[in-house]
Amino acid sequence: RPNHPQYQSGPTPGQNPLSSRGLSTRREQYEKDFPVYKQPVEVGCFSLDSERRFFNDNRQMRYYVEPDRSPNFDLRDGYKDRFIKRDDSVKEKLDHMLRWILANRSKLSSRGTAASSCALDVDFVTWRGHLTKLLTTPYETREGWLLAVTRFRGTLYISEVETEAARRDQENRTERHEEMMYWGYKFEQYTCADNVHSLPDPGGVVNTNEAFCTVVQTRLADHRLLFSGEVDCRDKDPNAPAPPACYVELKTSAEISTPKQRSNFHRFKLLKWWAQSFLPGVPRVVAGFRDHEGVVVTVDTFPISKISHLIKNEQNCWKPTVCMNFCCEFLSFVKHIATEDNPSVVYLLSWEPHRDVTFSIHRDSQYSFLPHWYVEEMTR
């Protein structure tokens, strides 16, 4: 598509011509009509237990218990003595999703696979979190990203690679920042019960190995997507709508006391919250606003469908259509460049703020991410 407005053609001097075609991330280019985004459908779910073991079921599902509007939850409680932290040096890549795919292949493959070049009937497989990063890219000014893409049996798999900057930030986290990362999980413990009829147990252990993930299928323009995202809890009312409409996303955020803080909250936080929940069709975010000592002073519910109205008074604010159109063009770009169907080939897409998206190609490299057990089972 040589005349496509978002593709800049022509080699840049001194660069590998293969990586010289970039994708623009400029907002103005994406201010078009909202693209078709089909209502996401949950096709399955899985759980990771306290030892990070995979189960093809919803055993880690939790139930939302509405707190008081000003509950005074102490988010620091238990940080020192009742906290088991997931080992984040273990890079899981797409592994849990791939295990889910193998266990549920019949739900995804078209009948008569012999005639079908696309064994899975989807164009893209990835984590929801990776798509969130794409949605927010036109507005991101601080953190770049690296996304590895492999085409295998017609499907494009997208898995994030940690950037040098992210690795440095992780190593240089302060003790205060480490503790603040715990606060979000502690808030979940105050507001989630293990069963429909039980209550939250703030005296228990917070273990961040545990997760419940939904797997959803949807379509963005002509891109068929299959992705998974971690879900905090669901509405415990038995008459609540079916997933994903019964799911609740929990967040904590610094309390807002000045107009500047409110404006920043609208411009930056709500963008991330909207993008993350809009993608899988999670309809509401429940936010605990906390003070500097980690005490939740107020709790508020944000329906995702109302967030775009909330921000309309902000000047120069983000627009959902820009996010979705950029993501759509990115996926078209990936389809266009990642042409070799080979599980050991990685197209590495990289982006830094204020730059275009560029790519490079790697064969049998450190970036290969589809495990042998997956490739072998899928090739049978």
Q: Please report whether residue 211 would count as binding Ca ion according to CB under 5 A.
A: no
Block residue for tokens 């902000």: 314
CB of 229 to ligand 0WD, least distance (A): 4
Q: Rounded to an integer, what distance in angstroms lies between the CA atom of residue 329 and that of residue 332?
A: 5
How big is the site for ligand 0WD, counted in residues (CB under 6 A)? 17
Instruction: Answer yes or no whether residue 211 interacts with ligand 0WD by CB under 6 A.
Output: yes
| 3-state SS assignment for residue 303 | strand
Which two structure tokens, joined as six digits, stand for 157? 């798999």
Identified binder of Ca ion from the candidate list 149, 248, 250, 324, rule CB under 5 A: 250
44 binds ligand 0WD (CB under 6 A): no
Q: Which two tokens stand for residue 146?
A: 């690296």
Segment interacting with ligand 0WD, rule: CB under 6 A, options 11-19, 73-81, 123-131, 255-263: 123-131
Whole-number Å distance between alpha carbons of 10 and 58? 50
Which residue of the chain is nearest ligand 0WD when measured via CB?
Answer: 129
> Which region among 90-98, 115-123, 236-244, 342-350 touches ligand 0WD (by CB under 6 A)?
90-98
Q: CA-CA distance, 269 to 323, in Å (whole number)?
A: 15
Kindly indicate which of the ranges 122-130, 148-156, 170-178, 215-223 contains the residues binding ligand 0WD, using the contact rule CB under 6 A: 122-130
Strands (E), 291-371: 295-303, 345-351, 358-363
Cα 239 → chain centroid: 28
Residue 136 amino acid letter: T
**From ligand 0WD, Ca ion, none, which one binds at residue 132 (CB under 5 to 8 Å depending on kind)?**
ligand 0WD
Contact 349, 146 (CB under 8 A): yes
Binding-site ranges for Ca ion (CB under 5 A) = 232, 250
Binding-site ranges for ligand 0WD (CB under 6 A) = 48, 86, 92-93, 96, 127-129, 132, 160, 184, 211, 213, 229-230, 251, 276
